[in-house]
């Protein structure tokens, strides 16, 4: 098994290698295929990853983005990131955010503090609370149900909360099924699921970087079940550590396959590992270059043909790099993140004001528009449809239709 220290350093191909010879012919063939609207295979995805130059990938991703989003709109959401607890027993070596139970810096936010943060978000016109935390050994779904019910009754703002690994942790803690836990959370007001915790959906990789965390199959199963009970979710990828190029494609393939099955993913976002200050920093390779990040952003837009939205990650990559990604396949700027604790704990923090986000989008040649958690545009400047406007209106995906058929 490859350790983190032995992880091979991947180097991007030279542009000249993609301009002539058999590799250039193959890249041209795959490019034609994408432009005709056909799906590329994992082998073709890997070929692009290994041989296409950055410019070609960017151009192709921009073509696909423009076909899916012809109005030159780039969306973002006014939201706040709240981490109700940093207590966690899962010990992921890449995580600088968590504290073990009993640690002097361990916390569970009191209700009054949570409520004050929510009120501030609502006062600022927020559309979403992104709430994720550690795998606390004693906080059960009942704690979350009470919080979600309070949010629904007092404010009505959408709770985009609990990643797949947290949901699975709750189910294990309570010896209940993931479906039962998700249904309780949904009844209490959970509106959508964030895509965190996917890292790389390949067991070889997960056993090295997060051996106690959700397995590949379980991460996918939680999202499948969420889609079946009527929740939409997003998907992510954290890369640039021990995974091989083939495993990056395997990750995308698993997401694309589940999306074919359920249609429940709203968006995909990826970011590079942030190794500074994490518990196992000495075992990680240096942070990859922005070029590697751009390549994956572009490739994800090309590969994930059944995902409507690709989100940039300015919190990890910086706002200028995110501006560039808008020409490498991204059509969404993510959240305004009025608060961010997880990556800032890893020494990486790029918080941007709404005005700055809008300027950056405009200067890249797009119209900025505010959206909700389900990618319905809620901006008064928008002249088109605002759908979907709610969790219920967004529950029109394949898995939900199938569930409804079964009930009949």
Residues that bind ligand SF4 (CB under 6 A): 88, 90-92, 95, 97-98, 134-135, 165, 213
Q: Which of 124, 136, 133 has the alpha carbon at shortest distance from 337?
A: 124
Is the CB of 213 or the CB of 301 nearer to ligand SF4?
A: 213
C-beta of 400: minimal distance to ligand SF4 in Å?
A: 28
Is the CB of 47 or the CB of 98 nearer to ligand SF4?
A: 98
How would you classify the pairing of strands 158-161 and 265-272? unpaired
Is the CB of 40 or the CB of 342 nearer to ligand SF4?
A: 342
Is the CB of 134 or the CB of 263 nearer to ligand SF4?
A: 134
Q: Which of 284, 295, 297, 233 has the alpha carbon at shortest distance from 262?
A: 233
Cβ 187 vs Cβ 147: under 8 Å? no
C-beta of 261: minimal distance to ligand SF4 in Å?
A: 26
Is the CB of 91 or the CB of 281 nearer to ligand SF4?
A: 91
* Beta carbons within 8 Å of 200's beta carbon, 6+ residues apart: 206, 209, 237, 238, 239, 241, 243, 247, 248, 251
Q: How far is CA 83 from CA 172, 233, 407, in A?
A: 21, 18, 36
Please give the Cα distance from 73 to 13 (Å, whole number): 32
C-beta of 98: minimal distance to ligand SF4 in Å?
A: 4
C-beta of 391: minimal distance to ligand SF4 in Å?
A: 25
Q: Which of 177, 101, 171 has the alpha carbon at shortest distance from 141?
A: 171
Is the CB of 24 or the CB of 106 nearer to ligand SF4?
A: 106
* Residue 108 tokens, joined: 């569970």
C-beta of 131: minimal distance to ligand SF4 in Å?
A: 13
Is the CB of 198 or the CB of 298 nearer to ligand SF4?
A: 198
C-beta of 230: minimal distance to ligand SF4 in Å?
A: 26
C-beta of 102: minimal distance to ligand SF4 in Å?
A: 15
Burial of 401 (0-12, 13-18, 19+ CB in 10 A): exposed
Is the CB of 33 or the CB of 172 nearer to ligand SF4?
A: 172
∠ at Cα 341 (337, 344), nearest 5°?
100
Is the CB of 97 or the CB of 307 nearer to ligand SF4?
A: 97
**For residue 388, is the peptide bond before it cis, meaning its omega torsion is within 30 degrees of 0?**
yes
| CA atoms within a 13 Å half-sphere pointing along the CA-CB vector of 281 | 10
Quickly list DSSP for 314-383. HHHH-HHHHHHHTTTT--EEEE--S---TTGGGT------HHHHHHHHHHTT-EEEEB-TTS-B--TT--
Q: Which of 404, 406, 376 has the alpha carbon at shortest distance from 389?
A: 376
C-beta of 126: minimal distance to ligand SF4 in Å?
A: 23
Is the CB of 86 or the CB of 288 nearer to ligand SF4?
A: 86
C-beta of 91: minimal distance to ligand SF4 in Å?
A: 6
C-beta of 38: minimal distance to ligand SF4 in Å?
A: 37
Instruction: Please give the biggest Cα pair distance in the chain.
Output: 65
């Amino acid at each position: 098994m490859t350790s983190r220290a032995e992880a091979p350093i991947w180097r991007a191909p030279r542009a000249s290698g993609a301009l002539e010879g058999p590799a250039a012919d193959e890249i041209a063939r795959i490019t034609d295929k994408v432009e005709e609207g056909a799906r590329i295979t994992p082998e073709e995805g890997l070929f692009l990853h290994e041989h296409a130059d950055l410019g070609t990938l960017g151009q192709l991703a921009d073509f696909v983005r423009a076909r899916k989003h012809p109005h030159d709109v780039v969306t973002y959401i006014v939201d706040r990131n709240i981490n109700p607890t940093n207590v966690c027993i899962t010990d992921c070596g890449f995580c600088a955010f968590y504290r073990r139970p009993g640690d002097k810096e361990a916390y569970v936010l009191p209700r009054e503090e949570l409520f004050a943060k929510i009120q501030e978000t609502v006062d600022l016109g927020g559309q979403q609370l992104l709430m994720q935390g550690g795998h606390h050994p004693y906080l059960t779904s009942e704690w979350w149900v009470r919080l979600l019910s309070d949010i629904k009754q007092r404010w009505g703002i959408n709770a985009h909360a609990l990643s797949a690994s947290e949901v699975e942790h709750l189910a294990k803690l309570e010896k209940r099924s993931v479906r039962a836990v998700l249904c309780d959370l949904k009844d209490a007001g959970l509106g959508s699921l964030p895509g965190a915790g996917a890292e790389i959906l390949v067991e070889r990789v997960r056993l090295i970087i997060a051996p106690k965390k959700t397995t590949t199959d379980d991460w996918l199963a939680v999202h499948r079940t969420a889609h079946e009970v009527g929740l939409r979710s997003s998907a992510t990828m954290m890369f640039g550590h021990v995974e091989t190029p083939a495993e990056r494609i395997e990750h995308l393939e698993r997401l694309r396959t589940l999306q074919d099955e359920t249609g429940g993913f709203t968006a995909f976002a990826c970011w590079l590992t942030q190794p500074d200050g994490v518990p196992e920093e000495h075992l990680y390779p240096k942070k990859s270059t922005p070029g590697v990040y751009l390549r994956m952003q572009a490739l994800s837009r090309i590969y994930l043909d059944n995902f409507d939205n690709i989100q940039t990650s300015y919190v990890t990559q910086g706002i200028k790099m995110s501006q560039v990604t808008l020409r490498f396949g991204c059509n969404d700027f993510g959240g305004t993140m009025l608060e961010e604790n997880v990556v800032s704990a890893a020494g990486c923090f790029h918080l941007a004001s709404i005005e700055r986000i809008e300027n950056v989008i405009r200067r890249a040649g797009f119209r900025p528009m505010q959206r909700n958690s389900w990618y319905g545009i809620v901006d008064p400047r928008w002249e088109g449809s605002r759908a979907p406007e709610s969790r219920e209106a967004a529950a029109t995906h394949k898995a939900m239709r199938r569930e409804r058929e079964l009930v009949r």
